[in-house]
Amino acid sequence: MAQGFRTETGGGGSGHQPSRDPLRRLTGGWRGDRGMWRRGAVLAVLAVLVALVMLFHAQIPNTLGNLGSLTETFLPWLGVFVPVLLVLALVRKSATALVAVLVPAIVWLNLFGGLLTDKAGGAGGAAGGELTVATHNVNAENPDPTGTADGIAASGAQVVALEELNAGAVPVYERALAKSYPYHAVAGTVGLWSKYPLSGTRPVDIKLGWTRAMRTTVTTPQGGVAVFVAHLPSVRVKLHAGFTASQRDTSADALGEAIAHESLGKVILLGDLNGTMNDRALNGVTAQMRSTQGAAGSGFGFSWPASFPMARIDQIMVKGVEPVTSWTLPETASDHLPIAATVDLTRS
């Protein structure tokens, strides 16, 4: 009779079965592998390059197709390279690459980690604040302006700015918003609807030859607030010309000048700036105002395109008031998402 013969079934294997843990499979055999420090030099260089672009994006020149501004528009997305490089380093079994990947990871967290925390307890959920404002590029070709207006009114905002209004749609928005907002003003392709009285309304010249910006005073129970509504020119990425943004940049400078000469101490800017807070071309505005998303939002608050938001080019910015909370509103029939913020008018 044969001795010592036995049959094993189920999960009690002899230890030679391959690990079901993907991480263990990737790191298996690393112990004692002296080559792990020699492999992955290319991956390590790529990781350092990603970190350098994030660190020194302001030094990337705009002389060649506005490459600097293009990079800054999508700067947070460079973080996507971190997990990709991490996986490749594990597959390559390169300790050198793994260490190098820590560099862009740390840089990205330093630049954008603060945006990942909820600084106001969720959309509209923070206590405090007297004024809620909203802004929306409604899209000139919007097939449902009434539904879009209803969606904005449902936000509960006391002040609403709309951009990219076409002449035919203005009466539709006026009728749809009349019940909730007894005061409104339209200048060119931008408009403002308010629960509080408006005064001192005038167009703002942003060097376009037609009106895409305005300024008005909203008389709140806490006093007058200067509100600017602006829609800066669109930008395009073209193979032969790069990031065509020169007209946007000129308008941004003109808008910054108008805001700098505002006599009221409390100022709110609402609009589609066709640029992010990282874009140096908006320095004329961003140097003197705070982004409500950066100060009191949760996440990046991307607003465009609505189907798959990749950048926050719609902005609510303030000067002389304190942001309380900032959030993105539900999608409408526009190609942009509306955004909203609550501010405290008693603090600055």
* pLDDT tens string 332-347: 999 999 999 999 999 8
Last residue of some domain: 113, 147, 166? 113
Least trusted range by pLDDT, from 113-117, 159-163, 255-259, 311-315: 113-117
Both 146 and 212 in one domain: the answer is yes
The terminus-to-terminus CA distance of the chain in angstroms comes to: 92
* pLDDT tens string 56-85: 999 998 877 788 888 999 999 999 999 999
CA 103 to centroid of chain Cα atoms: 24
Both 147 and 207 in one domain: the answer is yes
Both 145 and 183 in one domain: the answer is yes
Computed over every residue of the chain, the mean pLDDT equals 89
Contacts of 168 (CB under 8 A, 6+ apart): none
Both 210 and 315 in one domain: the answer is yes
pLDDT band at 10 (very low <50, low <70, confident <90, very high): very low
SS3 content of the chain, % helix, strand, coil (to 5): 35, 25, 45
Tokens of 318: 């303030």
Both 140 and 97 in one domain: the answer is no
- Whether 9 maps to a domain, the answer reads no
Both 129 and 269 in one domain: the answer is yes
With b for 16 or more beta-carbon neighbours within 10 A and e for fewer, the 289-302 pattern comes to bbbbbbbbbbebbb
| Contact in structure between 151 and 332 (CB atoms under 8 Å) | yes
| Contact in structure between 8 and 16 (CB atoms under 8 Å) | no
Q: What is the DSSP letter of 343?
A: E
Three-state SS for 99-136 is HHHHHHHHHHHHHHHHHHCCCCCCCCCCCCCCEEEEEE
Mean pLDDT for 309-333 is 97
Both 96 and 149 in one domain: the answer is no
User: What is the pTM assigned to this prediction?
Assistant: 0.86
Both 168 and 102 in one domain: the answer is no
Q: Which domain holds residue 106?
A: 22-113
Q: What is the CATH number of the domain that holds 253?
A: 3.60.10.10
Which among 285, 289, 281, 296 has a CA at the least distance from the CA of 340? 296
Both 62 and 99 in one domain: the answer is yes
Both 189 and 330 in one domain: the answer is yes
**Number of domains into which the chain is organized:** 2
With a cut of 60, say whether residue 246 has pLDDT above it: yes
| Contact in structure between 185 and 216 (CB atoms under 8 Å) | yes
- Whether 6 maps to a domain, the answer reads no
Last residue of some domain: 98, 113, 128? 113
Q: What is the pLDDT of residue 125?
A: 45
Last residue of some domain: 62, 83, 113? 113
